[in-house]
């Protein structure tokens, strides 16, 4: 199932969400300028390589600094290809605006980054011996999905399913769509444990960890006045005295 859009309009322009998407796209364009060997080294330096922290002697042998934890932040702004980037940014575009509405731009960015860091830590914990770099915003975006799952369970998500090469469009409750997505990450993550030493491709446990983090932590980032309709004006209106 591929999400097309949701049915909840955002009250405020999702400026922070736009800026996160822009940052990811600009860094990806920078990646395209790098020769393949340099790009691979770039991913190893700024992506999450679990063995780098679990086996510091290996990290030193391959030339990776062992006391550098910035990859838990930088990895979420890197992507391995066009499909990886577009699918992540499309999902963030659909679901991020409503979550930002409830949090405001600054809290939303902090929430996004925290979920991404937690997702990276969960990936490291579940696959401590992997020597392959993990990159992508999907762990942070999973946190946004977890918050959306709790806050907008009755929203409708229009999805597309290809049937015999023809697109079929239909609506699902967000509770159903995101519930199926979360269970698929958990199931796939469990299967990935069968090959714990070398883990590449999709970081299933990072998705699951980010989703749970979003579900549990989002109340800490909500605007204090969002439940009071008479005070639920857009933050831009407040800034300009509207």
For all residues of the chain together, what is the average pLDDT? 87
Q: With contact defined as beta carbons under 8 Å apart, do 115 and 140 qualify?
A: yes
Residue 238, pLDDT above cutoff 70: no
Q: Has this prediction a pTM greater than 0.75? A: yes
- Output the pLDDT for position 237: 53
Look at residue 192 in the predicted model and tell me its pLDDT.
66
Residue 152: the pLDDT is: 95
Does pLDDT of 242 surpass 70?
Answer: no
Topology adopted by domain 2-239: Rhomboid-like fold (1.20.1540)
- Tell me the average pLDDT across 41-51: 93
Q: Is 67 helix (H, G, I), strand (E, B) or coil?
A: coil
Is 76 within 8 Å of 109 (Cβ atoms)? no
List for the chain the helix, strand, coil content (%; round to 5): 60, 10, 30
Helix (H, G, I), strand (E, B) or coil at 28: helix
Phi first, then psi: give them for residue 3, nearest 5 degrees: -70, 140
The pLDDT, as a whole number, for residue 233 is 62
Residue 213 reports pLDDT greater than 90: yes
Give the angle subtended at the CA of 204 by the CAs of 200 and 206, to the nearest 5°: 100
What is the C-alpha separation between 30 and 23, in angstroms, rounded? 11
What's the rounded Cα separation, in Å, for the pair 184 and 181? 5
If pLDDT is split at 50, 70 and 90, which confidence band does 164 have? confident
The predicted structure's pLDDT at residue 176: 92
Q: Give the pLDDT confidence score for residue 200 in this predicted structure.
A: 53
| pLDDT value at residue 229 | 44
**pLDDT one-digit tens code per residue, 55-93:** 999 989 988 888 889 999 999 999 989 999 999 999 999
* 134 or 203: which leads in pLDDT: 134
- Report the pLDDT value the prediction gives residue 195, as an integer from 0 to 100: 59
Every domain of the chain and the residues it spans = 2-239
Mean pLDDT of all residues in 175-203? 75
**Mean pLDDT calculated for residue range 172-184:** 90
Pick the residue with more confidence: 93 or 199? 93
Task: Summarize pLDDT for 124-134 with one digit per residue, the tens.
Answer: 998 898 889 99
> Closest Cα partner for 176 from 157, 191, 189, 196?
157
Give the pLDDT score at 204.
83
């Amino acid at each position: 199932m591929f999400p097309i859009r949701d049915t909840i309009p955002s009250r405020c322009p999702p400026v922070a969400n736009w800026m996160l998407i822009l940052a990811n796209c600009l860094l990806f364009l920078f990646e395209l300028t790098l020769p393949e060997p340099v790009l691979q080294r770039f991913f190893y330096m700024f992506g999450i390589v679990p063995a780098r922290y679990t086996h510091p002697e290996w990290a030193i042998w391959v030339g990776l600094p062992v006391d550098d934890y910035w990859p838990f932040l930088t990895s979420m702004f890197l992507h391995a290809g066009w499909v990886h980037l577009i699918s992540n940014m499309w999902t963030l575009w659909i679901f991020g605006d409503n979550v930002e509405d409830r949090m405001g731009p600054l809290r939303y960015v902090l929430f996004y980054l925290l979920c991404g860091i937690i997702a990276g830590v969960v990936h490291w914990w579940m696959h401590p011996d992997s020597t392959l770099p993990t990159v992508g915003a999907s762990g942070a975006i999973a946190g946004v999905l977890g918050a959306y799952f709790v806050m907008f369970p009755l929203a409708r998500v229009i999805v597309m399913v290809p049937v015999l090469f023809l697109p079929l469009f239909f609506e699902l409750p967000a509770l159903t769509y995101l519930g199926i997505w979360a269970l698929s990450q958990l199931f796939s993550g469990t299967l990935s444990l069968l090959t714990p030493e070398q883990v590449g491709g999709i970081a299933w446990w990072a998705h699951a960890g980010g989703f749970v983090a979003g579900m549990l932590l989002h109340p800490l980032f909500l605007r204090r006045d969002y439940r009071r309709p008479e005070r639920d004006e857009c933050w831009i209106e407040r800034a300009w005295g509207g």
